């Protein structure tokens, strides 16, 4: 791939199987370089072929009504606008937008009886509601709690996400089910349509600590019922008997870990899959629908992260887990019929960004060809394993066409509790297209390999040689055993977020690297803890319980501590509205490398670009980012 070819990719997501199994609605996203936006449109498989179903440029979240007569979805006037609820007949026609929330809608789900839609909508708090935009931008902000801003959202102290009840026929005004000074998310309807479950952080120390509670509220509103203690909960669902479930852990300081399925009984949360050592809530890529989806027979279908793949598993009411749809692929959304005989899902492979599949009684059939011509030119990887210190570390090598030696780019993923694997990654294809051999691995700290693997880095970054560093330092040479074309004397290194952190750590520990790109990284825990939207609790989870009380502990874990040893020419890339790893992190590393005399540049992308810029930023910025990375490696790695 060339950088501009990312605009040729059509990314499918969020499949929704029609109640009679005859058709599938799903979303297709594609970059528009000329307009500089990412258009999202709802497509439909009609039983024969796929084609656009809506004409908007910002449509998403398709949901069929229970009787199949209406499709509800979210629509914005244009990409980047505020989403509202729209409805249209299943047979097609002009959609009708039926809401007008001041800051838009983020979630919607039909009630099982089809009478209502539950939505999560954002509204200004009373102090800010009646102001003009100019006055909102001018007025000083009086802040009295955390969090007050969030990555990819912006300010949060002046707005609230609430749960609302919508009449799809517009007979009544929206009813706010959860008024007050909290935020809600994660809709799940009870099977009798009398109550809605949701998630909300309402413990006294929320903001300073992680975690949330599970609640239910009746369709008439009123008092909410607390259904769980504080924990780390997501993916709520009800089974056919009306029992409520969630995925997560009751330990709200438990991250990183493997997240299990729990049932919320009157006497507390009961673990169903606690012995299954894999994640039932995939951290990345975004999955929708993700499950659990409960079937008529009392079993559930869930997406599971496992050794570089995302697969579909069956979970019984007793918590027994078994594989159902697997393979060298990453499934990002699945929708089942009530009897479990039919499903629609979206999956990507290492060479294809994604296609829509239909699954019937064990047989999967691809029903779209969104990226076939592009996929034909993509490079396939070779997998390898690092076996040392009693562990196995999985990795992949991508090579350009030809026979000669190629310079190497060691890539490190974010998280660290995410994984590389058997799904499509445009970055690898762009670097291969520029003539590099790409090496990627899942060191200790990555998810997809069980609890011991993902927690191996906790309280280790303040040591001289943490386990993930040892794994990554071994990756290039072990990869070269599987792919001798790799020129191990000509190696660059790069990564974003946790990968940016490790870029600084790796280049401080080993001077073999001739070129480095550190992107949106965490370099100084001391300031990250106070400036990042997740700072207080993320710092404690990874650096240790006493980290926030110890300047020395946070500094010992900070990559900047070793910056004096970095001699590798380093390009630092950061977005100015990154609130996950604020740009002051990049500025501190930049200053340290300048003081070293290390060749360095700081590439700043203006707001509203944030921590997600490389994945969902403005198309022109994404292409310019690629061009800057390739230029830097061309200068320092290839001369």
pLDDT of residue 92: 86
Instruction: Answer for the pair 520, 575: CB distance below 8 angstroms, yes or no.
Output: yes
CA-to-CA dists, residue 152 to 410, 539, 616, angstroms: 28, 20, 10
Is residue 123 a part of any domain in this protein? no
Mean pLDDT of the chain, nearest integer: 97
Helix (H, G, I), strand (E, B) or coil at 101: coil
Q: Which long-range contacts (CB under 8 A, 24 or more apart) does 93-98 make?
A: 95/54, 95/56, 96/170, 98/166, 98/168, 98/170
Give the number of other Cβ atoms within 10 Å of residue 376's Cβ: 9
Residue 639's pLDDT is 77
Does a structural domain hold residue 499?
A: yes
Retrieve residue 3's tokens: 């950088």
Tokens of 157: 């102290």
Q: Provide mean pLDDT across the span 466-490.
A: 98
Phi, psi torsion values for 352, nearest 5 degrees: -130, 125
314-344 residue pLDDT tens: 999 999 999 999 999 999 999 999 999 999 9
Residue 450 near residue 277, CB atoms below 8 Å = yes
In 98-122, which positions are buried (b, 16+ CB within 10 angstroms) versus exposed (e)? bbebebbbbbbbbbeebebbbbbbb
DSSP 24-65: EEEEEEEEETTTTEEEEEEEEE-SS-EEE----SBEEEEEE-
Alpha-carbon distances, residue 246 vs 50, 282, 292, 331 (angstroms)? 34, 14, 8, 20
Q: CA-CA distances (angstroms) from residue 502 to 387, 465, 466, 548, 628?
A: 21, 12, 11, 22, 20
Residues 6 or more apart whose CB falls under 8 angstroms from that of 221 comprise: 165, 175, 176, 177
Whether residue 347 contacts residue 334, with contact meaning beta carbons closer than 8 Å, is answered with: no
Query: According to the model, what pLDDT value does residue 291 have?
Result: 86
The candidate with the shortest Cα–Cα distance to 90, out of 40, 23, 27, 28, is 23
Question: Does residue 361 have a pLDDT over 90?
Answer: no
What is the full DSSP assignment across 409-472? EEEE-SSSS----SS--HHHHHHHHTTPEEEEE--BTBSSS-HHHHTTTTTTTTSSS-HHHHHH
DSSP string, 271-319: ESSTT--SBSS--SS--SS-S-EE-TTS-EEEEEEETTEEEEEEE-TT-
Q: Give the phi and the psi of residue 75 in degrees, each rounded to 5.
A: -135, 135
- Are the beta carbons of 59 and 106 closer than 8 angstroms? no
In a domain, 370, yes or no: no
Confidence label for 172 from pLDDT (cuts 50, 70 and 90): confident
In a domain, 238, yes or no: no
Task: Give the dihedral sign, CA 412/417/418/420.
Answer: positive
pLDDT tens figures, 154-164: 999 999 999 99
Q: Are 33 and 620 in contact (CB under 8 A)?
A: yes
Among 425, 216, 422, 188, which residue's Cα sits nearest to residue 310? 422
Give 170's DSSP letter.
-
The rounded radius of gyration (Å) of the Cα atoms in the chain is: 24
Determine, yes or no, domain membership for 307: no
Cα→Cα distances 169→42, 73, 84, 493, 545, Å:
21, 14, 15, 56, 52
What number of helices (H) and strands (E) belong to the chain? 13, 38
Query: Residue for token digits 């998630």?
Result: 199
Residue 583 lies in a domain: yes
Q: What is the pLDDT of residue 12?
A: 98
- Average pLDDT estimate for 306-310: 97
The enclosing domain of 421 has a CATH number of 3.40.50.1820
CB atoms within 10 A of CB 13: 20
Query: What's the number of domains the chain is made of?
Result: 1
Which tens digit of pLDDT belongs to each residue from 484-531? 999 999 999 999 999 999 999 999 999 999 999 999 999 999 999 999
Say whether 383 sits in a helix, a strand or coil. Answer: strand
* pLDDT one-digit tens code per residue, 79-109: 999 999 999 999 988 999 999 999 999 999 9
What is the distance between the alpha carbons of residues 86 and 104, in angstroms, rounded to a whole number? 12
Tell me the CA distances in angstroms from 421 to 42, 84, 269, 378, one per residue in order.
28, 35, 32, 15
Closest CA to 74 of 288, 219, 253: 288
pLDDT at 348: 98
**Percent share of the chain, pLDDT over 70:** 100
Question: Which residues lie below 8 Å from residue 361, measured CB to CB, with a gap of 6+?
Answer: 341, 342
Closest CA to 609 of 593, 591, 624: 624
Confirm if 439 and 476 have CB atoms less than 8 A apart: yes
Domain around 572:
379-636
**Phi, psi for residue 226 in degrees, rounded to 5:** -80, 125
In a domain, 613, yes or no: yes
In the prediction, which pLDDT does 213 show? Answer: 97
Digit-coded pLDDT (tens) for 35-58: 999 999 999 999 999 999 999 999
* Segment 573-605, tens digit of pLDDT: 999 999 999 999 999 999 999 999 999 999 999
- DSSP conformation class of 511: T
- Residue 535 CA from chain centroid, whole number: 18
pLDDT reported for residue 171: 79
Indicate if the pLDDT at residue 170 is higher than 90: no
Other C-beta atoms closer than 10 Å to the C-beta of 138 total 9
How far is residue 633's CA from residue 488's CA, in Å, rounded to a whole number?
Answer: 15
Pairing of strands 600-605, 570-575: parallel
For residue 563, being part of any structural domain is answered with: yes
């Amino acid at each position: 791939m060339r950088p501009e070819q990312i605009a040729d990719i059509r990314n499918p997501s969020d499949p929704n199987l029609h109640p009679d199994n005859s058709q599938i609605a799903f979303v297709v996203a594609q970059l528009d370089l000329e307009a500089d936006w990412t258009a999202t449109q709802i497509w439909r498989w009609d039983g024969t072929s796929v084609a656009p179903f809506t004409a908007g440029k910002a449509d998403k979240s398709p949901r069929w009504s229970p009787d199949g007569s209406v499709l509800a979805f979210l629509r914005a006037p244009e990409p980047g606008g505020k989403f509202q609820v729209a409805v249209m007949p299943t047979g097609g026609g002009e959609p009708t937008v039926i809401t007008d929330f001041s800051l838009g809608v983020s979630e919607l789900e039909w009630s099982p009886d089809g009478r209502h839609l539950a939505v999560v909508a954002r509204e200004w708090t009373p102090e800010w509601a009646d102001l003009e935009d100019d006055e909102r931008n001018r007025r000083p902000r009086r802040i009295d709690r955390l969090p007050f801003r969030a990555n990819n959202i912006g300010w949060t102290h002046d707005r609230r996400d609430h749960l609302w009840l919508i009449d799809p026929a517009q007979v009544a005004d929206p009813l706010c089910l959860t008024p007050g000074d909290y935020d809600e998310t994660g809709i799940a309807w009870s099977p009798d349509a009398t109550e809605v479950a949701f998630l909300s952080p309402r413990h006294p120390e929320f903001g300073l600590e992680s975690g949330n509670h599970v609640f239910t509220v009746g369709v008439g509103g009123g008092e909410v019922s607390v259904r769980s203690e504080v924990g780390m909960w997501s993916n709520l669902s009800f089974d056919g008997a009306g029992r409520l479930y969630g995925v997560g852990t009751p330990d709200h300081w438990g991250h990183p870990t493997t997240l299990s399925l729990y049932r919320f009984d009157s006497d507390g949360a009961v673990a169903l899959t606690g012995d299954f050592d894999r994640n039932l809530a995939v951290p990345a890529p975004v999955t929708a629908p993700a499950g659990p989806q409960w079937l008529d027979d009392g079993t559930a279908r869930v997406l599971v992260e496992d050794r570089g793949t995302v697969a579909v598993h069956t979970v019984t009411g007793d918590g027994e887990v078994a594989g159902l749809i697997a393979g060298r692929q990453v499934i990002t959304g699945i929708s089942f019929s009530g009897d479990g005989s039919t499903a629609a899902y979206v999956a990507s492979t290492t060479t294809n960004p994604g296609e829509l599949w239909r699954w019937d009684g064990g047989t999967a059939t691809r029903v779209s060809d969104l990226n076939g011509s592009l996929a034909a030119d993509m490079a396939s990887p070779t997998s390898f394993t690092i076996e040392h210190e009693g562990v196995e570390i999985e990795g992949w090598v991508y090579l350009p066409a030809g026979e000669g030696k190629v310079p190497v780019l060691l890539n490190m993923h974010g998280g660290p509790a995410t994984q590389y694997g058997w799904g499509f990654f445009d970055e690898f294809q762009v670097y291969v297209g520029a003539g590099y051999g790409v090496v990627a691995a899942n060191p200790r700290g990555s998810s997809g390999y069980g609890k011991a693997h993902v927690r191996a880095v906790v309280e280790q970054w303040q040591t001289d040689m943490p386990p993930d560093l040892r794994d990554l330092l071994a990756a290039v040479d072990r990869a070269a055993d599987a792919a001798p074309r790799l020129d191990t004397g000509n190696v660059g290194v790069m990564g974003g977020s946790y990968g940016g952190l490790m870029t600084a750590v790796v280049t401080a520990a080993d001077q073999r690297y001739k070129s480095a790109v550190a992107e949106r990284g965490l370099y100084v825990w001391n300031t990250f803890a106070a400036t990042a939207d997740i700072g207080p609790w993320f710092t404690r989870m990874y650096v240790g319980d006493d980290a926030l009380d110890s300047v020395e502990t946070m500094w010992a874990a900070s990559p900047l501590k070793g910056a004096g040893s970095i001699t590798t020419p380093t390009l630092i890339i950061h977005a100015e509205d990154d609130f996950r790893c604020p740009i002051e992190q990049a500025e501190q590393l930049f200053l340290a490398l300048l003081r070293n005399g290390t060749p360095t540049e700081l590439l700043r992308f203006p707001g509203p670009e944030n921590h997600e810029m490389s994945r969902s930023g403005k198309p022109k910025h994404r292409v310019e980012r690629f061009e800057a990375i390739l230029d830097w490696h061309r200068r320092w790695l290839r001369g």
